[in-house]
Amino acid sequence: MNENPLLTESELPFGAPAFDRIENRHYIPAFEEALKQAKAEVDAIIENSAEPDFENTVQALEFCGKQLNAVEEIFFNLNEACTDSEMQQIAEDITPKLTEFSMYVSLNEKLFSKIKAVYEKKDSLGLNEEDSRLLSETYKAYARNGANLPAEDKQAFSKMSEELSLASLRFGKNVLGATNAYTLDLTDEAQTAGLPDFVKESAAAEAASRGKTGWVFTLDRPSFMPFMQYSANRDLREKLWRAYSSRCIADNFDNDANIHQIVDLNMRRAQMLGYGTYADYAIEDRMAKTKETVNNFIADMMAKCLPFARTEIADLQAYAEANGFEGQLMPWDFSYWGEKLRTEKYSVNDELLKPYFQLEAVRDAIFGLAGTLYGLSFIRREDIPVYHPDVQVYEVKDGDRHLGLLYMDFFPRESKRGGAWMTSFRDLSIRDGVETRPLVQLVTNFSKPAGDTPSLLTHYEVTTFLHEFGHCLHGLLAEGSYASLTGTAVARDFVELPSQFMENWGYEPQWLNSFARHYRTGEAIPQDLIDKLVAAKNFQAGYAFVRQLRFGTLDMAWYTAQCAPEESAADFEHRILAQAEVLPVIEGTAISPQFTHIFSGGYSAGYYSYKWAEVLEADAFSLFKEKGIFNKEAASSFRENILSKGNLEDADVLYRKFRGRDPRPEALLEQNGLSAGTK
């Protein structure tokens, strides 16, 4: 065991993981030993004969399983970002054991009786704000995880939790498998008609990396989206769109059974805890509090945005017809004609913008923005090992103070799932006066360098970078003693505020002018191009809103049912979304079978959070528009009241401390040109 890098104390700077030494063979022994240690630590709390108090029960429990947490965070984060078939099998093998331990802790009657004894005398303990919050949140978490269930129900609850974990793993594994299983291989240059050089170069590099000639397009977003936007070959657009939209439906990666099992298990667990539906259970602990609030929020937004979306589709249909298109616009036509209309209307597109958004320049500008707002600096650390050659590591400092490490992993590969996300290999904690700072991971799937062309980002990728970096700041600027209360450990519908808030700078000329230079000539981005980009910001905003609201509607429909529907996932989805369709529904395609957010990504009954948090960020950023986008007073308040506070207080309280009032819902519609009187 002493030779296992997952079990030995790191000698690297800041206790960074020894990624250069970790091999797949280390995981199972590390999990088994860490589970053994964690159980012994829990049992020590249970068997302690002293009267239960905050320190020997609640605080001790908070710090239990440090070794196990470290192994889990490394393994499961890498299983998302740098996996292989062996790791995926390890995940399936170890998950039942981890769930069994989790249930041993959360359903342990002796342990809960001690927690309850401390909780019942909380008002007389003289705890400070942070310790009092930990006590309340610990008690609530145990109650919400079945600790109050009758003994005969606990075993069933535990079994369902294990089955749920495995079903979620299978769901994500299938989506990754289906994404990697398909490529569109082109060898005839005529088939690339309409594609800009940057798209062709990237596809040629993809082909070369696979030992093929010509051009290869995949279902990863940096490959899929540009093809849909620019390819003049409608048949090929349809072919690629159908492949993308039919993933995990009636194929080798079919997720229908997994969806039904996940929904059923979530519902049964919630009902066992006394809730009518899983949504009632999940939302109770968030800002929204009730499913009725969420459904009303979505319905209100949908009612206001759907007319705009339908007008935008009608305008696009008319534009396409005026330019020689015949028939009804189909889903594989939307991005293509939308890009043409956007370019004609605003004279701006990705081909014009990408040369000014070299990845390294964007990265440094985002670092600079964090420096301007919060006084942070980012120092490249090449002495700290990484889990893949693409990964970069930065030490983050506030003056002379070390805040944490930031691991940045930018490019797609078969071993990485699609999308972009932030997570951590280690969270903040203070124990016995010793502070352990976070190790944060930022993962994206940006366009790779191709030939002598560096990685050039679309503007969408620039805002994606800003978004995930906002999550990273939430983790890195955390303050407090307890990992369960710091950083991004906040209500699901509050966690997207820092990320979506950061996206605003992507449309601010003052920030864009500070760094956007042509990667070949060094020429500053023309002011008229920035003006056009800003003017085009709300292009088809109605459609974009409706698209997100449809996802939220679908999510809530799955998790407000009393039981899993008997119909297929695709049929259920089409029935639920029928009233909000703006483009034709295509048989054999659906969102649900590949909707990782709600079936394996932690957003079950929570996808509404994106729009909910957009209301918060639009209202929050309006303060910066009033005071100045680099205003240090506003930034200091945002850091103090939002970024550093984690879950030390309820989200609505923290927001009011920052803004001085509740958020204005109208701010979001106004920001996107969707309020009354706008078009």
Residue 1 has pLDDT above 70, yes or no: no
Q: Is 468 a catalytic residue?
A: yes
Residue 679: the pLDDT is 40
Percent with pLDDT over 70 in the chain: 99
Residue 678: the pLDDT is 45
Tell me which fold the domain 355-535 belongs to. Answer: Neurolysin; domain 3 (1.10.1370)
* Angle between helix 331-346 and 291-322 (nearest 10): 70
- Tens of pLDDT, residue by residue over 75-91, are 999 999 999 999 999 99
Contact 623, 634 (CB under 8 A): yes
**And the tokens for 668?**
């979001």
**And the tokens for 75?**
């393994």
Catalytic residue chosen out of the listed positions 80, 351, 468, 503:
468
Residue 558: the pLDDT is 98
Q: Do domains 258-347+542-606 and 355-535 have the same CATH topology?
A: yes
Which contacts of 584-591 are long-range, i.e. CB under 8 A and separated by 24 or more positions?
A: 584/328, 584/330, 584/331, 586/242, 586/245, 586/330, 586/331, 588/242, 588/246, 588/249, 588/250, 589/242, 589/245, 589/246, 589/249, 590/245, 590/246, 590/249, 591/550, 591/551, 591/554
* Cα–Cα distance, 559 to 547 (Å, whole number): 19
Q: What is the 3-state secondary structure (H, E, C) of 49-100?
A: CCCCCHHHHHHHHHCCCHHHHHHHHHHHHHHHHCCCHHHHHHHHHHHHHHHH
* Burial track 267-296 (b if 16+ CB lie within 10 A, e otherwise): bbbbbbbebebbbbbbbeebbbeebeebbe
DSSP 561: S
Torsion angle of alpha carbons 381, 382, 385, 386, nearest 10°? 90
For range 375-379, the mean pLDDT = 98
CATH number among 3.30.70.980, 3.40.50.2300, 1.10.1370.10, 1.10.1510.10, domain 258-347+542-606: 1.10.1370.10
Cite the beta strand spans of 264-410 per DSSP E: 376-380, 392-398, 401-409
Instruction: For residue 45, give the amino acid letter.
Output: I
Contact 225, 470 (CB under 8 A): no
Task: Tell me how many degrees the CA angle 57-61-67 measures, rounded to the nearest 5.
Answer: 150
For range 55-66, the mean pLDDT = 97
Length reported for the chain:
679
Torsion angle of alpha carbons 372, 376, 377, 383, nearest 10°? -160
Question: Where residue 2 falls among pLDDT bands split at 50, 70, 90?
Answer: low
- Tens of pLDDT, residue by residue over 433-490, are 999 999 999 999 998 898 889 999 999 999 999 999 999 999 999 999 999 999 999 9
Biggest CA–CA distance in the chain, Å, is 83
* Cα–Cα distance, 564 to 267 (Å, whole number): 8
Residue 676 has pLDDT above 80, yes or no: no
* Cα–Cα distance, 371 to 605 (Å, whole number): 36
Helix, strand, coil tally for the chain in percent (to 5): 60, 5, 35
Q: Which CATH number does 13-106+108-148 carry?
A: 1.20.1050.40
Q: What are the residue boundaries of the structural domains of the chain, listed by start? A: 13-106+108-148, 182-245, 258-347+542-606, 355-535
In this structure, how many other beta carbons lie within 10 angstroms of the beta carbon of residue 110?
Answer: 10
DSSP 507: G
DSSP 519: T
**And the tokens for 117?**
């004894």
| Phi/psi-derived region of residue 677, left when phi > 0, alpha when psi is between -120 and 50, beta in every other case | left
* Cα–Cα distance, 321 to 340 (Å, whole number): 13
* Cα–Cα distance, 128 to 12 (Å, whole number): 35
**671 Cβ contact partners less than 8 Å away, ≥ 6 residues apart:** 618, 621, 622
Contact 468, 422 (CB under 8 A): yes
* Cα–Cα distance, 446 to 466 (Å, whole number): 13
- Tens of pLDDT, residue by residue over 203-214, are 999 999 999 999
Cite the beta strand spans of 300-370 per DSSP E: none
Task: Tell me how many degrees the CA angle 192-195-197 measures, rounded to the nearest 5.
Answer: 110
Q: Which of 394-408, 423-437, 621-635, 659-673 has the lowest mean pLDDT?
A: 659-673
Nearest to 244 by CA among 257, 225, 269: 225
- Tens of pLDDT, residue by residue over 518-570, are 999 999 999 999 999 999 999 999 999 999 999 999 999 999 998 889 999 99
- Tens of pLDDT, residue by residue over 32-43, are 999 999 999 999
- Looking from the CA of 628 toward its CB, the CA atoms found within 13 Å total 6
Averaged pLDDT score across all residues of the chain? 96
Q: Checking DSSP bridges between strand 421-426 and strand 401-409, what pairing results, if any?
A: unpaired
For range 374-403, the mean pLDDT = 98
- Tens of pLDDT, residue by residue over 243-290, are 999 999 988 999 999 999 999 999 999 999 999 999 999 999 999 999
Nearest to 62 by CA among 84, 87, 45: 45
Nearest to 121 by CA among 61, 63, 58: 58
Residue 476: the pLDDT is 98
Nearest to 413 by CA among 439, 458, 379, 445: 445
Q: Checking DSSP bridges between strand 439-443 and strand 401-409, what pairing results, if any?
A: parallel
Query: Is pTM beyond 0.85 here?
Result: yes
Instruction: For residue 366, give the amino acid letter.
Output: I
